[in-house]
Structure 1
Amino acid sequence: MNDFLSFIIFLYTTMQKIVYTQDNLQLLNRSFLFGDSVWVSFFVRNGNLIMSEESYFFLMASMRKMRLNIPLTYTLEFFQELFQREVLDKGIRNGIIQLMAYRIQDEKPLSKSETAFFFEVEESEDILNIQGNIELDLIKEINVNANLLSNIRVHSAENIYAEIYAKENDLDDVILLNPNKKIARSIFGNLLFLQNNVIKIPKQTEGAYISPLMENFVTFIHKNKLAEIEEAEIIAFESQKADEILRISDEKGIHSVSKIRNKTFENEQFSMLVQRWRDAFNLSAL
Protein backbone atom coordinates (compact mmCIF):
# COMPACT_ATOMS: atom_id res chain seq x y z
CA MET A 1 0.00 0.00 0.00
CA ASN A 2 2.84 2.42 0.87
CA ASP A 3 4.55 1.78 -2.49
CA PHE A 4 1.80 3.17 -4.72
CA LEU A 5 0.52 6.09 -2.62
CA SER A 6 2.01 9.57 -2.47
CA PHE A 7 1.08 12.91 -0.99
CA ILE A 8 1.82 16.60 -1.32
CA ILE A 9 1.72 18.90 1.69
CA PHE A 10 1.21 22.64 1.44
CA LEU A 11 1.96 24.57 4.62
CA TYR A 12 0.31 27.98 5.05
CA THR A 13 1.06 30.52 7.75
CA THR A 14 -1.95 29.73 9.94
CA MET A 15 -3.55 26.59 8.53
CA GLN A 16 -2.22 23.39 7.08
CA LYS A 17 -3.66 22.08 3.85
CA ILE A 18 -2.94 18.53 2.75
CA VAL A 19 -3.49 17.31 -0.80
CA TYR A 20 -3.09 13.57 -1.36
CA THR A 21 -3.35 11.58 -4.54
CA GLN A 22 -2.49 8.09 -5.71
CA ASP A 23 0.58 8.13 -7.94
CA ASN A 24 -1.35 6.62 -10.85
CA LEU A 25 -3.15 9.96 -11.26
CA GLN A 26 -3.62 10.85 -14.93
CA LEU A 27 -3.93 14.49 -15.92
CA LEU A 28 -6.56 13.60 -18.49
CA ASN A 29 -8.76 11.55 -16.17
CA ARG A 30 -12.52 11.16 -16.50
CA SER A 31 -13.19 13.44 -13.55
CA PHE A 32 -11.31 16.24 -15.31
CA LEU A 33 -12.83 15.47 -18.70
CA PHE A 34 -16.41 14.58 -17.83
CA GLY A 35 -17.01 15.16 -14.12
CA ASP A 36 -17.10 11.37 -13.71
CA SER A 37 -16.52 11.32 -9.96
CA VAL A 38 -18.13 11.51 -6.53
CA TRP A 39 -17.19 13.58 -3.48
CA VAL A 40 -17.65 12.52 0.13
CA SER A 41 -16.47 14.27 3.31
CA PHE A 42 -14.79 12.75 6.35
CA PHE A 43 -14.46 14.75 9.55
CA VAL A 44 -11.58 15.37 11.94
CA ARG A 45 -12.29 16.70 15.42
CA ASN A 46 -9.81 17.12 18.26
CA GLY A 47 -7.28 14.95 16.46
CA ASN A 48 -9.72 12.08 15.83
CA LEU A 49 -11.87 10.87 12.97
CA ILE A 50 -15.55 11.16 13.85
CA MET A 51 -18.53 9.63 12.03
CA SER A 52 -16.07 7.66 9.91
CA GLU A 53 -18.43 4.72 9.48
CA GLU A 54 -21.28 6.95 8.31
CA SER A 55 -19.00 8.74 5.85
CA TYR A 56 -17.49 5.48 4.59
CA PHE A 57 -20.87 3.85 3.92
CA PHE A 58 -22.00 7.02 2.16
CA LEU A 59 -18.87 6.83 -0.01
CA MET A 60 -19.65 3.22 -0.93
CA ALA A 61 -23.29 4.09 -1.70
CA SER A 62 -22.25 7.10 -3.81
CA MET A 63 -19.76 5.04 -5.81
CA ARG A 64 -22.38 2.39 -6.46
CA LYS A 65 -24.87 5.00 -7.67
CA MET A 66 -22.25 6.31 -10.12
CA ARG A 67 -21.49 2.71 -11.21
CA LEU A 68 -17.88 3.10 -10.11
CA ASN A 69 -15.87 -0.09 -9.70
CA ILE A 70 -15.11 -0.45 -5.95
CA PRO A 71 -11.71 -2.11 -5.30
CA LEU A 72 -11.64 -4.77 -2.61
CA THR A 73 -8.97 -2.72 -0.81
CA TYR A 74 -11.47 0.13 -0.17
CA THR A 75 -12.44 -1.00 3.30
CA LEU A 76 -13.30 1.16 6.28
CA GLU A 77 -10.02 0.13 7.92
CA PHE A 78 -8.08 1.12 4.79
CA PHE A 79 -9.39 4.69 4.90
CA GLN A 80 -9.10 4.96 8.67
CA GLU A 81 -5.44 3.92 8.52
CA LEU A 82 -4.79 6.19 5.55
CA PHE A 83 -6.28 9.24 7.25
CA GLN A 84 -4.47 8.43 10.48
CA ARG A 85 -1.13 8.31 8.69
CA GLU A 86 -1.57 11.13 6.20
CA VAL A 87 -3.83 13.53 8.09
CA LEU A 88 -3.91 13.01 11.86
CA ASP A 89 -0.22 12.13 12.16
CA LYS A 90 0.58 15.28 10.15
CA GLY A 91 -0.87 17.38 12.95
CA ILE A 92 -4.39 18.13 11.68
CA ARG A 93 -6.58 18.60 14.76
CA ASN A 94 -9.83 19.86 13.17
CA GLY A 95 -10.83 19.84 9.54
CA ILE A 96 -12.89 18.36 6.73
CA ILE A 97 -11.37 15.73 4.44
CA GLN A 98 -12.81 16.07 0.93
CA LEU A 99 -12.33 12.75 -0.83
CA MET A 100 -13.01 12.35 -4.54
CA ALA A 101 -13.28 8.90 -6.13
CA TYR A 102 -13.12 8.84 -9.92
CA ARG A 103 -12.89 6.53 -12.91
CA ILE A 104 -9.50 6.24 -14.58
CA GLN A 105 -9.39 6.99 -18.31
CA ASP A 106 -8.52 3.69 -20.00
CA GLU A 107 -9.60 1.44 -22.85
CA LYS A 108 -11.84 -0.78 -20.72
CA PRO A 109 -15.65 -0.48 -20.71
CA LEU A 110 -16.75 2.15 -18.20
CA SER A 111 -18.12 -0.43 -15.77
CA LYS A 112 -14.74 -2.22 -15.81
CA SER A 113 -12.52 0.85 -15.51
CA GLU A 114 -10.24 1.11 -12.52
CA THR A 115 -11.03 3.59 -9.77
CA ALA A 116 -8.66 5.99 -8.07
CA PHE A 117 -9.09 8.65 -5.44
CA PHE A 118 -7.78 12.01 -4.34
CA PHE A 119 -8.40 13.94 -1.16
CA GLU A 120 -7.62 17.29 0.36
CA VAL A 121 -8.06 18.55 3.89
CA GLU A 122 -7.81 21.98 5.40
CA GLU A 123 -7.64 22.74 9.07
CA SER A 124 -10.68 24.56 10.37
CA GLU A 125 -12.53 25.30 13.56
CA ASP A 126 -14.36 22.52 15.41
CA ILE A 127 -16.65 20.92 12.82
CA LEU A 128 -19.41 20.71 15.45
CA ASN A 129 -19.37 24.47 16.04
CA ILE A 130 -21.59 26.93 14.21
CA GLN A 131 -18.95 28.58 12.04
CA GLY A 132 -20.78 31.89 11.63
CA ASN A 133 -23.71 33.58 9.91
CA ILE A 134 -24.53 33.52 6.20
CA GLU A 135 -26.89 35.46 3.96
CA LEU A 136 -29.00 33.68 1.34
CA ASP A 137 -31.49 34.44 -1.37
CA LEU A 138 -33.62 32.40 -3.72
CA ILE A 139 -32.47 31.74 -7.27
CA LYS A 140 -35.19 31.23 -9.88
CA GLU A 141 -33.25 31.02 -13.13
CA ILE A 142 -32.29 27.38 -12.59
CA ASN A 143 -33.47 24.38 -10.61
CA VAL A 144 -31.97 21.08 -9.50
CA ASN A 145 -33.26 17.61 -10.22
CA ALA A 146 -34.73 15.17 -7.74
CA ASN A 147 -33.47 11.76 -8.86
CA LEU A 148 -31.03 9.04 -7.85
CA LEU A 149 -27.95 11.22 -8.41
CA SER A 150 -29.38 14.40 -6.92
CA ASN A 151 -28.68 13.26 -3.36
CA ILE A 152 -24.94 12.66 -3.79
CA ARG A 153 -22.15 15.10 -4.50
CA VAL A 154 -21.36 14.81 -8.19
CA HIS A 155 -20.53 17.35 -10.88
CA SER A 156 -23.34 19.91 -11.02
CA ALA A 157 -23.43 22.73 -13.57
CA GLU A 158 -26.30 24.18 -11.51
CA ASN A 159 -24.01 24.52 -8.49
CA ILE A 160 -21.38 26.34 -10.56
CA TYR A 161 -23.93 28.75 -12.01
CA ALA A 162 -25.48 29.37 -8.59
CA GLU A 163 -22.09 29.96 -6.93
CA ILE A 164 -21.20 32.62 -9.50
CA TYR A 165 -24.66 34.18 -9.07
CA ALA A 166 -24.16 34.28 -5.29
CA LYS A 167 -20.76 35.98 -5.55
CA GLU A 168 -22.08 38.55 -8.03
CA ASN A 169 -24.90 39.40 -5.62
CA ASP A 170 -22.79 39.46 -2.42
CA LEU A 171 -24.46 36.33 -1.06
CA ASP A 172 -22.90 33.42 0.78
CA ASP A 173 -25.22 30.81 -0.73
CA VAL A 174 -28.57 30.50 -2.50
CA ILE A 175 -31.70 28.41 -2.08
CA LEU A 176 -32.19 26.00 -4.98
CA LEU A 177 -35.61 24.71 -5.98
CA ASN A 178 -36.55 21.52 -7.78
CA PRO A 179 -38.70 21.47 -10.97
CA ASN A 180 -41.84 21.43 -8.78
CA LYS A 181 -40.78 24.75 -7.18
CA LYS A 182 -40.13 23.07 -3.82
CA ILE A 183 -36.97 23.78 -1.79
CA ALA A 184 -34.30 21.17 -2.54
CA ARG A 185 -31.10 22.44 -0.91
CA SER A 186 -28.50 25.18 -1.11
CA ILE A 187 -25.35 25.09 -3.25
CA PHE A 188 -23.24 23.60 -0.48
CA GLY A 189 -25.62 21.75 1.82
CA ASN A 190 -29.03 21.24 3.34
CA LEU A 191 -31.30 23.77 5.03
CA LEU A 192 -33.16 23.16 8.29
CA PHE A 193 -36.15 25.39 9.06
CA LEU A 194 -37.16 25.84 12.71
CA GLN A 195 -40.62 27.11 13.66
CA ASN A 196 -42.45 26.53 16.95
CA ASN A 197 -40.11 23.71 18.02
CA VAL A 198 -40.61 21.89 14.70
CA ILE A 199 -37.59 21.45 12.42
CA LYS A 200 -38.56 20.98 8.78
CA ILE A 201 -36.06 19.41 6.42
CA PRO A 202 -36.56 19.04 2.64
CA LYS A 203 -37.00 15.39 1.66
CA GLN A 204 -34.28 13.62 -0.28
CA THR A 205 -36.93 12.93 -2.91
CA GLU A 206 -37.13 16.72 -3.35
CA GLY A 207 -33.42 16.93 -4.22
CA ALA A 208 -31.81 17.34 -0.78
CA TYR A 209 -28.31 15.97 -0.25
CA ILE A 210 -27.62 12.86 1.77
CA SER A 211 -25.44 14.22 4.57
CA PRO A 212 -23.80 12.11 7.30
CA LEU A 213 -23.19 15.31 9.29
CA MET A 214 -26.81 16.43 9.15
CA GLU A 215 -28.19 12.95 9.78
CA ASN A 216 -26.09 12.63 12.92
CA PHE A 217 -27.36 15.98 14.19
CA VAL A 218 -31.00 15.23 13.37
CA THR A 219 -30.79 11.76 14.92
CA PHE A 220 -29.43 13.25 18.14
CA ILE A 221 -32.30 15.77 18.31
CA HIS A 222 -34.90 13.09 17.61
CA LYS A 223 -33.54 10.57 20.13
CA ASN A 224 -33.35 13.18 22.87
CA LYS A 225 -36.75 14.67 21.99
CA LEU A 226 -35.32 18.18 21.76
CA ALA A 227 -37.56 19.13 18.83
CA GLU A 228 -39.94 17.54 16.36
CA ILE A 229 -38.30 16.55 13.09
CA GLU A 230 -40.41 16.70 9.94
CA GLU A 231 -39.21 15.73 6.47
CA ALA A 232 -41.43 17.74 4.20
CA GLU A 233 -42.09 19.29 0.83
CA ILE A 234 -41.32 22.94 1.49
CA ILE A 235 -42.42 25.80 -0.74
CA ALA A 236 -40.10 28.76 -1.14
CA PHE A 237 -42.34 31.12 0.88
CA GLU A 238 -41.94 28.93 3.98
CA SER A 239 -38.35 30.10 4.28
CA GLN A 240 -39.76 33.51 5.23
CA LYS A 241 -41.99 31.98 7.92
CA ALA A 242 -39.21 30.20 9.81
CA ASP A 243 -37.97 31.49 13.15
CA GLU A 244 -34.46 30.19 12.56
CA ILE A 245 -32.62 28.51 9.67
CA LEU A 246 -29.50 26.38 9.80
CA ARG A 247 -27.34 25.24 6.90
CA ILE A 248 -25.45 22.00 7.41
CA SER A 249 -22.83 21.31 4.76
CA ASP A 250 -20.52 18.30 4.67
CA GLU A 251 -18.20 20.53 2.66
CA LYS A 252 -18.23 23.75 4.69
CA GLY A 253 -19.61 22.85 8.12
CA ILE A 254 -22.50 24.41 10.04
CA HIS A 255 -23.74 27.98 9.60
CA SER A 256 -26.70 29.99 10.85
CA VAL A 257 -28.71 31.82 8.23
CA SER A 258 -28.95 35.43 9.35
CA LYS A 259 -30.80 36.95 6.41
CA ILE A 260 -32.91 36.06 3.37
CA ARG A 261 -33.88 39.14 1.38
CA ASN A 262 -35.33 41.62 3.86
CA LYS A 263 -35.98 39.17 6.67
CA THR A 264 -33.44 38.54 9.41
CA PHE A 265 -33.31 35.41 11.58
CA GLU A 266 -32.20 34.63 15.10
CA ASN A 267 -30.04 31.62 15.96
CA GLU A 268 -30.71 31.15 19.67
CA GLN A 269 -32.48 27.79 19.61
CA PHE A 270 -30.29 26.19 16.95
CA SER A 271 -27.21 27.39 18.86
CA MET A 272 -28.51 25.62 21.96
CA LEU A 273 -29.25 22.42 20.01
CA VAL A 274 -25.81 22.39 18.38
CA GLN A 275 -24.19 23.00 21.78
CA ARG A 276 -25.99 20.00 23.28
CA TRP A 277 -24.99 17.85 20.31
CA ARG A 278 -21.37 18.92 20.74
CA ASP A 279 -21.49 18.25 24.48
CA ALA A 280 -22.72 14.71 23.77
CA PHE A 281 -19.68 14.13 21.52
CA ASN A 282 -17.40 15.43 24.25
CA LEU A 283 -18.89 13.01 26.77
CA SER A 284 -18.65 10.04 24.41
CA ALA A 285 -14.96 10.84 23.82
CA LEU A 286 -14.11 10.60 27.53
Structure 2
Amino acid sequence: MAAADFLFFNGKMLREGSPVLSADNRSFRFGDGCFETIQVAGGRILLFPYHMERLFRSLELLRFDVPVHFDSAYLQEHILQLARKNGHNGRTRIRLTIFRGNGGLYDPENHYPNHVIQSWELPDQWEMNQNGLVTGIFPDARRSCDLYSPLKHNNYLPNAMAALWAKENRLNEAFLLNPYNRIADATIANVFVVKNGSVLTPALSEGAVNGVMRRYLLEQLHKEGIPVAEGQLTAEHLFDASEVFLTNAISGIRWVQQAGQSAYGNELSAFLFNKFIAGGL
Protein backbone atom coordinates (compact mmCIF):
# COMPACT_ATOMS: atom_id res chain seq x y z
CA MET A 1 0.00 0.00 0.00
CA ALA A 2 1.32 3.43 -0.98
CA ALA A 3 2.50 5.65 1.86
CA ALA A 4 0.46 8.67 2.90
CA ASP A 5 1.67 12.22 3.53
CA PHE A 6 -1.01 13.27 6.00
CA LEU A 7 -3.20 12.02 8.83
CA PHE A 8 -6.20 13.63 10.52
CA PHE A 9 -6.10 14.06 14.31
CA ASN A 10 -8.80 15.66 16.45
CA GLY A 11 -9.88 18.16 13.82
CA LYS A 12 -6.45 18.92 12.35
CA MET A 13 -4.61 17.70 9.28
CA LEU A 14 -1.06 16.72 10.32
CA ARG A 15 1.96 15.30 8.55
CA GLU A 16 2.08 11.50 8.72
CA GLY A 17 4.35 10.52 11.59
CA SER A 18 3.35 13.47 13.77
CA PRO A 19 3.07 12.51 17.46
CA VAL A 20 -0.52 12.05 18.62
CA LEU A 21 -0.05 10.12 21.90
CA SER A 22 1.77 10.71 25.17
CA ALA A 23 3.30 7.99 27.33
CA ASP A 24 0.34 8.39 29.72
CA ASN A 25 -2.27 7.67 27.06
CA ARG A 26 -4.84 5.09 28.17
CA SER A 27 -5.04 3.46 24.75
CA PHE A 28 -1.27 2.93 24.80
CA ARG A 29 -1.40 1.70 28.40
CA PHE A 30 -4.63 -0.28 28.48
CA GLY A 31 -5.95 -0.61 24.92
CA ASP A 32 -8.76 1.79 25.83
CA GLY A 33 -10.52 2.50 22.56
CA CYS A 34 -11.79 1.04 19.31
CA PHE A 35 -11.21 1.29 15.57
CA GLU A 36 -12.83 0.89 12.18
CA THR A 37 -11.16 -0.35 9.01
CA ILE A 38 -13.02 1.20 6.09
CA GLN A 39 -12.81 1.10 2.31
CA VAL A 40 -13.32 4.12 0.07
CA ALA A 41 -13.95 3.52 -3.63
CA GLY A 42 -15.26 5.81 -6.33
CA GLY A 43 -15.38 8.72 -3.91
CA ARG A 44 -17.75 6.99 -1.50
CA ILE A 45 -17.35 5.04 1.71
CA LEU A 46 -18.46 1.44 1.25
CA LEU A 47 -20.92 0.08 3.82
CA PHE A 48 -20.71 3.41 5.63
CA PRO A 49 -24.00 3.07 7.59
CA TYR A 50 -22.85 -0.32 8.94
CA HIS A 51 -19.51 1.14 10.04
CA MET A 52 -21.18 4.08 11.79
CA GLU A 53 -23.77 1.92 13.52
CA ARG A 54 -21.04 -0.33 14.91
CA LEU A 55 -18.76 2.58 15.82
CA PHE A 56 -21.32 4.55 17.81
CA ARG A 57 -22.53 1.40 19.55
CA SER A 58 -18.89 0.77 20.50
CA LEU A 59 -18.47 4.30 21.83
CA GLU A 60 -21.59 3.84 23.94
CA LEU A 61 -20.41 0.53 25.40
CA LEU A 62 -16.93 1.94 26.05
CA ARG A 63 -18.43 4.90 27.93
CA PHE A 64 -17.14 7.72 25.78
CA ASP A 65 -18.72 11.17 26.04
CA VAL A 66 -19.47 11.90 22.39
CA PRO A 67 -19.78 15.62 21.54
CA VAL A 68 -22.59 16.80 19.30
CA HIS A 69 -20.29 17.61 16.38
CA PHE A 70 -18.73 14.13 16.38
CA ASP A 71 -21.27 12.39 14.17
CA SER A 72 -21.34 10.36 10.97
CA ALA A 73 -21.38 13.50 8.78
CA TYR A 74 -18.23 14.82 10.49
CA LEU A 75 -16.43 11.51 10.01
CA GLN A 76 -17.56 11.10 6.41
CA GLU A 77 -16.33 14.60 5.54
CA HIS A 78 -12.89 14.11 7.03
CA ILE A 79 -12.38 10.56 5.78
CA LEU A 80 -12.99 11.68 2.20
CA GLN A 81 -10.99 14.88 2.73
CA LEU A 82 -7.98 12.91 3.96
CA ALA A 83 -8.12 10.49 1.03
CA ARG A 84 -8.10 13.42 -1.40
CA LYS A 85 -5.33 15.22 0.52
CA ASN A 86 -3.14 12.12 0.24
CA GLY A 87 -3.89 11.73 -3.47
CA HIS A 88 -5.69 8.46 -2.83
CA ASN A 89 -8.32 8.79 -5.54
CA GLY A 90 -8.92 5.12 -6.26
CA ARG A 91 -9.62 2.31 -3.82
CA THR A 92 -8.39 3.39 -0.41
CA ARG A 93 -8.02 1.74 2.98
CA ILE A 94 -8.99 3.95 5.91
CA ARG A 95 -8.26 3.29 9.56
CA LEU A 96 -10.24 5.34 12.07
CA THR A 97 -8.89 4.90 15.60
CA ILE A 98 -10.74 6.20 18.66
CA PHE A 99 -9.05 6.38 22.05
CA ARG A 100 -9.42 7.90 25.49
CA GLY A 101 -6.78 10.40 26.55
CA ASN A 102 -4.34 10.38 29.44
CA GLY A 103 -4.89 8.99 32.91
CA GLY A 104 -4.57 5.99 35.18
CA LEU A 105 -6.84 2.98 35.26
CA TYR A 106 -9.36 4.56 37.65
CA ASP A 107 -8.88 8.23 36.83
CA PRO A 108 -8.99 9.17 33.15
CA GLU A 109 -8.68 12.89 32.53
CA ASN A 110 -11.86 12.82 30.43
CA HIS A 111 -13.92 10.59 28.15
CA TYR A 112 -13.53 12.54 24.90
CA PRO A 113 -13.20 10.34 21.77
CA ASN A 114 -9.75 11.35 20.54
CA HIS A 115 -9.53 10.22 16.93
CA VAL A 116 -6.97 9.57 14.23
CA ILE A 117 -7.81 8.90 10.59
CA GLN A 118 -5.17 7.38 8.29
CA SER A 119 -5.32 6.34 4.63
CA TRP A 120 -3.46 3.94 2.34
CA GLU A 121 -3.89 3.38 -1.38
CA LEU A 122 -5.19 -0.02 -2.52
CA PRO A 123 -4.87 -1.72 -5.93
CA ASP A 124 -7.48 -0.31 -8.31
CA GLN A 125 -8.63 -3.76 -9.38
CA TRP A 126 -10.65 -5.51 -6.67
CA GLU A 127 -10.36 -9.25 -7.18
CA MET A 128 -10.79 -12.31 -5.04
CA ASN A 129 -7.53 -14.06 -4.19
CA GLN A 130 -6.43 -16.32 -7.05
CA ASN A 131 -4.53 -18.70 -4.79
CA GLY A 132 -6.48 -20.03 -1.84
CA LEU A 133 -5.24 -19.33 1.68
CA VAL A 134 -3.38 -21.95 3.69
CA THR A 135 -4.52 -21.75 7.30
CA GLY A 136 -4.33 -23.32 10.74
CA ILE A 137 -5.88 -23.05 14.19
CA PHE A 138 -3.92 -20.89 16.65
CA PRO A 139 -3.55 -22.90 19.89
CA ASP A 140 -2.19 -20.35 22.36
CA ALA A 141 -4.99 -17.84 23.06
CA ARG A 142 -8.78 -17.61 23.21
CA ARG A 143 -11.14 -14.86 22.10
CA SER A 144 -13.56 -13.90 24.84
CA CYS A 145 -17.33 -14.22 24.58
CA ASP A 146 -18.70 -11.13 26.32
CA LEU A 147 -20.31 -7.74 25.79
CA TYR A 148 -17.16 -6.36 24.18
CA SER A 149 -16.13 -9.24 21.92
CA PRO A 150 -18.21 -8.07 18.91
CA LEU A 151 -16.41 -4.70 18.96
CA LYS A 152 -13.23 -3.82 17.11
CA HIS A 153 -11.59 -2.63 20.30
CA ASN A 154 -7.93 -1.80 20.78
CA ASN A 155 -7.21 -4.91 22.87
CA TYR A 156 -5.96 -6.96 19.92
CA LEU A 157 -3.32 -9.16 21.52
CA PRO A 158 -4.81 -12.61 20.67
CA ASN A 159 -5.19 -11.61 17.02
CA ALA A 160 -1.71 -10.09 16.89
CA MET A 161 -0.12 -13.22 18.36
CA ALA A 162 -2.14 -15.44 16.02
CA ALA A 163 -0.85 -13.44 13.06
CA LEU A 164 2.76 -13.86 14.24
CA TRP A 165 2.16 -17.57 14.76
CA ALA A 166 0.73 -17.90 11.25
CA LYS A 167 3.76 -16.17 9.75
CA GLU A 168 6.18 -18.34 11.76
CA ASN A 169 4.38 -21.43 10.46
CA ARG A 170 4.26 -20.19 6.85
CA LEU A 171 0.48 -19.87 6.89
CA ASN A 172 -1.57 -17.13 5.28
CA GLU A 173 -4.11 -16.88 8.10
CA ALA A 174 -5.00 -18.36 11.48
CA PHE A 175 -8.29 -19.20 13.16
CA LEU A 176 -8.87 -18.14 16.76
CA LEU A 177 -10.83 -20.25 19.22
CA ASN A 178 -13.18 -19.09 21.95
CA PRO A 179 -13.07 -20.39 25.57
CA TYR A 180 -15.18 -23.38 24.52
CA ASN A 181 -12.62 -24.41 21.87
CA ARG A 182 -14.94 -23.45 19.05
CA ILE A 183 -13.91 -21.19 16.17
CA ALA A 184 -14.65 -17.50 16.71
CA ASP A 185 -12.82 -15.63 13.95
CA ALA A 186 -9.68 -15.43 11.87
CA THR A 187 -6.99 -12.86 12.69
CA ILE A 188 -8.45 -10.10 10.51
CA ALA A 189 -11.67 -11.62 9.22
CA ASN A 190 -14.91 -13.41 9.95
CA VAL A 191 -15.23 -17.08 9.04
CA PHE A 192 -17.83 -18.84 6.88
CA VAL A 193 -17.98 -22.55 6.06
CA VAL A 194 -20.07 -24.30 3.41
CA LYS A 195 -21.40 -27.86 3.60
CA ASN A 196 -24.08 -29.43 1.38
CA GLY A 197 -25.06 -26.03 0.02
CA SER A 198 -25.63 -24.49 3.46
CA VAL A 199 -23.51 -21.77 5.04
CA LEU A 200 -22.52 -21.48 8.71
CA THR A 201 -20.71 -18.63 10.48
CA PRO A 202 -19.93 -18.21 14.19
CA ALA A 203 -22.59 -16.27 16.07
CA LEU A 204 -21.57 -13.01 17.73
CA SER A 205 -22.11 -14.75 21.07
CA GLU A 206 -19.28 -17.13 20.06
CA GLY A 207 -16.69 -14.34 20.17
CA ALA A 208 -16.95 -13.21 16.54
CA VAL A 209 -16.40 -9.57 15.67
CA ASN A 210 -19.51 -7.90 14.31
CA GLY A 211 -17.94 -7.44 10.89
CA VAL A 212 -19.59 -5.12 8.40
CA MET A 213 -18.86 -7.44 5.46
CA ARG A 214 -20.17 -10.35 7.53
CA ARG A 215 -23.41 -8.46 8.09
CA TYR A 216 -23.70 -7.47 4.43
CA LEU A 217 -23.13 -11.02 3.17
CA LEU A 218 -25.58 -12.52 5.65
CA GLU A 219 -28.22 -10.18 4.24
CA GLN A 220 -27.34 -11.10 0.64
CA LEU A 221 -27.34 -14.83 1.38
CA HIS A 222 -30.83 -14.56 2.86
CA LYS A 223 -32.04 -12.57 -0.16
CA GLU A 224 -30.49 -15.11 -2.53
CA GLY A 225 -32.30 -17.95 -0.75
CA ILE A 226 -29.06 -19.70 0.22
CA PRO A 227 -29.45 -21.47 3.58
CA VAL A 228 -27.31 -19.69 6.17
CA ALA A 229 -27.07 -19.89 9.95
CA GLU A 230 -25.20 -18.15 12.76
CA GLY A 231 -24.19 -20.64 15.42
CA GLN A 232 -21.43 -22.76 16.89
CA LEU A 233 -18.61 -23.63 14.51
CA THR A 234 -16.35 -26.45 15.67
CA ALA A 235 -13.04 -27.63 14.27
CA GLU A 236 -14.97 -30.63 12.94
CA HIS A 237 -17.24 -28.30 10.96
CA LEU A 238 -14.16 -26.57 9.58
CA PHE A 239 -12.33 -29.71 8.52
CA ASP A 240 -15.49 -31.33 7.09
CA ALA A 241 -16.56 -28.33 4.98
CA SER A 242 -16.56 -28.21 1.19
CA GLU A 243 -15.67 -24.50 1.21
CA VAL A 244 -14.27 -22.04 3.73
CA PHE A 245 -14.06 -18.31 3.12
CA LEU A 246 -13.09 -15.24 5.14
CA THR A 247 -14.65 -11.78 5.00
CA ASN A 248 -13.66 -8.24 5.88
CA ALA A 249 -14.22 -4.70 4.63
CA ILE A 250 -10.98 -4.48 2.63
CA SER A 251 -10.68 -7.87 0.92
CA GLY A 252 -14.39 -8.61 0.72
CA ILE A 253 -14.06 -12.39 0.43
CA ARG A 254 -10.91 -14.52 0.49
CA TRP A 255 -11.27 -18.23 -0.10
CA VAL A 256 -9.38 -20.82 1.91
CA GLN A 257 -7.66 -23.64 0.07
CA GLN A 258 -6.40 -25.62 3.06
CA ALA A 259 -6.85 -25.95 6.82
CA GLY A 260 -4.83 -28.73 8.41
CA GLN A 261 -5.18 -31.72 6.09
CA SER A 262 -8.48 -30.54 4.58
CA ALA A 263 -8.67 -28.97 1.13
CA TYR A 264 -11.49 -26.79 -0.20
CA GLY A 265 -12.97 -25.38 -3.38
CA ASN A 266 -14.30 -21.89 -4.07
CA GLU A 267 -17.46 -22.23 -6.16
CA LEU A 268 -19.85 -20.42 -3.79
CA SER A 269 -17.29 -17.92 -2.54
CA ALA A 270 -16.44 -16.91 -6.13
CA PHE A 271 -20.14 -16.55 -6.95
CA LEU A 272 -20.73 -14.37 -3.89
CA PHE A 273 -17.68 -12.21 -4.58
CA ASN A 274 -18.56 -11.65 -8.23
CA LYS A 275 -22.24 -10.92 -7.62
CA PHE A 276 -22.33 -9.01 -4.35
CA ILE A 277 -18.91 -7.37 -4.09
CA ALA A 278 -17.30 -6.87 -7.50
CA GLY A 279 -20.75 -6.69 -9.06
CA GLY A 280 -22.19 -3.91 -6.95
CA LEU A 281 -21.23 -3.39 -3.33
Q: Secondary structure at the match of 2:163?
A: helix
Native 8 Å contact 1:15 1:122 kept in 2 = yes
Question: Alignment length, in residue pairs?
Answer: 268
Partner of 2:139: 140
Q: Is 2:68 aligned against 1:72?
A: yes
Q: Is 2:8 aligned against 1:20?
A: yes
TM-score (structure 2 length as normaliser): 0.86
Pair 88,196 (structure 1): closer, same or farther in 2 beyond 3 Å? farther
Native 8 Å contact 1:97 1:119 kept in 2 = yes
TM-score (structure 1 length as normaliser): 0.85
Distance 2:109 2:232 in 1: 35
Native 8 Å contact 1:136 1:171 kept in 2 = yes
Q: CA deviation digits over 1:206-235, x for unaligned, max 9?
A: 00110112211221121122x111111111
Native 8 Å contact 2:149 2:208 kept in 1 = yes
RMSD, matched Cα: 2.4
When structure 1 is superposed on structure 2, of 59-68 and 245-254 the one drifting more is 245-254
Moved over 4 A (4+): 106-109
- Residue type of the alignment partner of 2:8: Y
When structure 1 is superposed on structure 2, of 266-275 and 15-24 the one drifting more is 15-24
1:93 is displaced (CA, Å) by 1.3
Pair 40,74 (structure 1): closer, same or farther in 2 beyond 3 Å? same
Q: Secondary structure at the match of 2:235?
A: coil
Q: Is 2:92 aligned against 1:104?
A: no
1:251 is displaced (CA, Å) by 5.8
Pair 91,175 (structure 1): closer, same or farther in 2 beyond 3 Å? closer
Pair 250,66 (structure 1): closer, same or farther in 2 beyond 3 Å? farther
- Residue type of the alignment partner of 1:78: Y
1:252 is displaced (CA, Å) by 5.3
Partner of 1:239: 238
Q: CA deviation digits over 1:178-223, x for unaligned, max 9?
A: 1111111111111000112211010000001101122112211211
Q: Which sections of structure 1, spanning at least 5 residues, go unmatched?
A: 1-13
Q: CA deviation digits over 1:155-193, x for unaligned, max 9?
A: 132122212211111112211111111111111111000
Pair 252,280 (structure 1): closer, same or farther in 2 beyond 3 Å? closer
